[in-house]
Structure formats: C-alpha cells, structure tokens
C-alpha cells in the first residue's frame, strides 16, 4: 500500500523540524560562546537562526496539523502563507548580507587599501539587520490585511484530484482586487526575492574571482601563510558561495512547481517535495555555517580581536638579544 500525500508530507515536515532544531541550536551555542562580547557576526547569525526556526516550527507544524485532518480557517491559512513567504525573503536577504560582509573583508585582503576598517561598521551592520526585519514585515503585511480564503475551497470534495495538495490548494488565499493581486502578489513579491538572489549570485561569483586572485598572491615573490583572521574570511567566502549554490536552485525549483501546481496535482509526492524545497535550506544550512568558524576564534567583521600577550615564565632567563 502506497503512503498518501498527507503521510509523506507529515514525515517530511517531522524530519525537517528535527534537523532544523538540532542544527540551529548547535549553531547558536557554537557562535555564542566563541567570543566574550557581542559581535556583528553573532547578531546576523542569530537573525538567521531565528528565521530558520520560525520557518520550521510555525509553517511546518501548521502543515502537519493540516495534513492530520484538522482544517485551517482563513486566519490559519494567512498565517501559513505570511510566515512562509516572510521567512523565505528574510533568509535570502540575510544570506546576501552575510555574503557581502565576507566579500568586503576578502576584497580588503586581496586589494588592501592601507586604512583601518570603520569603527562604526558594527553599528552599521546592526542597523541593516534591523532594517531588513522591518522591511520584511512591512512588505508582507498586505498578505494579512487584503487577502481572504475563498469560500468554495472549504467545500471542496476530497475526491477532487487537487485534494492531494490540500495545504497548497485548499488553503489558498486570494486578493479581493485583481490589480493588487497582479502587481503586488505576482510581481512585487517575486521581485523582492529574485533581485536579491541575482545580486547574491553576482557577489558570490565576484568572491570566487577574488579567491582565485588570493591563491596567486605573493609578497615580494615569497608566499606568506594565512593567519587565523584570513583563514576565517577565506572559509566564510567559500561557504557563502556553497550556500548560494544551494539556496538559489531550491528557490527556483519551488517557484516553478508552485506555478504549475494545478498541472501536477495528481502526483501524490508533490506536497512533500514542495515542503523539502521550501524548508531544507533552513534545516541543513546551519551545519555549513558552523564550519565557517570550526576550531577557530570568531573574528569580528569590524576588526580582529586583540590577542593577549603570552606570559613569560618567571624562572626563565631571557636572552639579552631577545
């Protein structure tokens, strides 16, 4: 007996929730205890963790509830769509900000400007993170205010082939105004995702070029090894590129499947596939982000942390030439 679409979706959501909670919890504690004071990178990582957990603990839990046979009213369907869209956009924006920070540091290594980084960079980044939160919530507020669940969807017969995709078809929300739905729902909401993704791809290709330049760099025809700060920056740049190659195909694949949802409604595995495409990045990316600072002190994007001098033993006679 083949499992139903509801069972497959419940299994997929349960696995993603478990992996996401474990990965994001480990990422939080591994980042929190690396330094003794609050760092710009920690603020950004904390925002990414929070968005990932909301994605899985709100959206996927509601999907499990719906797949278990408990119907969601209009408010519940709005909550699913609002939270899913908001967390997706914020994930893209935060990953772009993450890549830009490492791009700036990598560019300073490859093309040193001979000046210290701005001391206000930490406050500047804090303002950007806060602004992204405000912009994300503001952009999706109309989803809560101007949408509603059509009455005919709640009366849909379970024998309908579209019933295999209940959470995606029976829980649809529509705008009362067709022009608002076209310009806002189909153009604006797509552009605020696809434009940052395009910039992210460009930035990551630029970082790949800088990494190739860094690999060829010599100092007076003598190669000098990287210190801990440069190793962390190089590793962060490489993982930014890897994360870009993960999040971009996932978003594009999910977008294409949603566009052809009605044509693919007969496939029983489609709900589980859509869930995996929309939530797998939030579940598995924390494990990659942890590797950026693996066995290494986290270096602030505003400058390196000053190291304390190594104490000299009192019973050792120092050389007069030391």
Spell out the residues 6+ positions from residue 109 whose beta carbon is closer than 8 angstroms to its own.
Answer: 214, 230, 233
Is the pTM higher than 0.85?
no
Cα 4 to Cα 8, 39, 74, 164, distances in angstroms: 6, 47, 25, 8
Q: What is the DSSP letter of 303?
A: B
What is the spatial distance between Cα 81 and Cα 76, in angstroms, rounded to a whole number?
9
Domain annotation for the chain: domains and CATH numbers = 5-293 (1.20.1070.10)
Residue 229: CB atoms within 10 A of its CB come to 17
What is the spatial distance between Cα 244 and Cα 200, in angstroms, rounded to a whole number?
7
Res. 206: pLDDT tops 60: yes
Q: Which residue has the higher pLDDT, 72 or 16?
A: 16
Q: Which of 38-42, 160-164, 167-171 has the highest mean pLDDT?
A: 167-171
145 pLDDT band (50/70/90 cuts)?
confident
| Tens of pLDDT, residues 242-273 | 999 999 999 999 999 988 877 776 778 888 89
What is the spatial distance between Cα 32 and Cα 307, in angstroms, rounded to a whole number?
19
Q: Report yes or no: 163 and 265 within 8 Å, Cβ to Cβ.
A: no
| Tens of pLDDT, residues 169-185 | 667 777 777 888 889 98
Q: Report yes or no: 301 and 277 within 8 Å, Cβ to Cβ.
A: no
Dihedral Cα 260, 262, 265, 267, nearest 10 deg:
-30
Res. 121: pLDDT tops 70: no
What is the spatial distance between Cα 97 and Cα 252, in angstroms, rounded to a whole number?
20
For residue 7, give the H/E element and its range: helix 5-32
| Predicted local confidence at residue 190, as pLDDT | 94
Q: What share of the chain is helix, strand, coil (3-state, %, to 5)?
A: 70, 0, 25
High-pLDDT (> 70) share of the chain, %: 73
What is the spatial distance between Cα 221 and Cα 231, in angstroms, rounded to a whole number?
21
Res. 141: pLDDT tops 50: yes
What is the spatial distance between Cα 302 and Cα 116, in angstroms, rounded to a whole number?
9
Beta bridge partners of 300: 303
Res. 91: pLDDT tops 70: yes
Span between the terminal Cα atoms of the chain, in Å: 79
Res. 116: pLDDT tops 60: no
Res. 224: pLDDT tops 70: no
């Amino acid at each position: 007996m083949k499992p139903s679409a509801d069972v497959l979706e419940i299994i997929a959501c349960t696995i993603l929730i478990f992996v996401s909670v474990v990965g994001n919890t480990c990422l939080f504690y591994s980042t929190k205890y690396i330094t003794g004071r609050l760092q710009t990178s920690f603020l950004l990582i904390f925002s990414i963790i929070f968005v990932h957990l909301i994605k899985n603990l709100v959206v996927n839990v509601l999907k499990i509830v719906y797949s278990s046979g408990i119907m969601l009213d209009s408010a519940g369907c709005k909550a699913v769509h609002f939270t899913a869209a908001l967390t997706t956009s914020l994930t893209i924006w935060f990953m772009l900000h993450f890549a830009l920070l490492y791009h700036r540091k990598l560019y300073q290594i490859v093309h040193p400007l001979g000046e210290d980084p701005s001391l206000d960079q930490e406050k500047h980044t804090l303002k950007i993170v806060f602004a992204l939160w405000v912009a994300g919530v503001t952009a999706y507020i109309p989803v809560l205010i101007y949408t509603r669940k059509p009455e005919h969807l709640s009366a849909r017969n379970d024998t309908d082939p579209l019933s295999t995709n209940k959470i995606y078809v029976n829980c649809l929300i529509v705008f009362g105004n067709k022009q608002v739905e076209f310009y806002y729902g189909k153009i604006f909401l797509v552009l605020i995702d696809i434009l940052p993704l395009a910039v992210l791809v460009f930035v990551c290709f630029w970082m790949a070029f800088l990494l190739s330049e860094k690999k060829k760099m010599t100092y007076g025809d003598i190669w000098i090894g990287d210190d801990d700060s440069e190793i962390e920056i190089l590793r962060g740049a490489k993982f930014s590129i890897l994360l870009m190659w993960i999040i971009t195909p996932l978003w594009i694949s999910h977008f294409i499947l949603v566009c052809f949802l009605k044509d693919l409604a007969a496939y029983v595995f489609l709900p589980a596939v859509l869930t995996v495409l929309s939530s797998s990045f939030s579940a598995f990316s924390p494990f990659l982000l942890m590797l950026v600072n693996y066995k290494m002190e986290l270096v602030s994007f505003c400058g390196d942390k000053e190291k304390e001098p190594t104490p000299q033993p009192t019973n050792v006679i120092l050389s007069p030439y030391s």
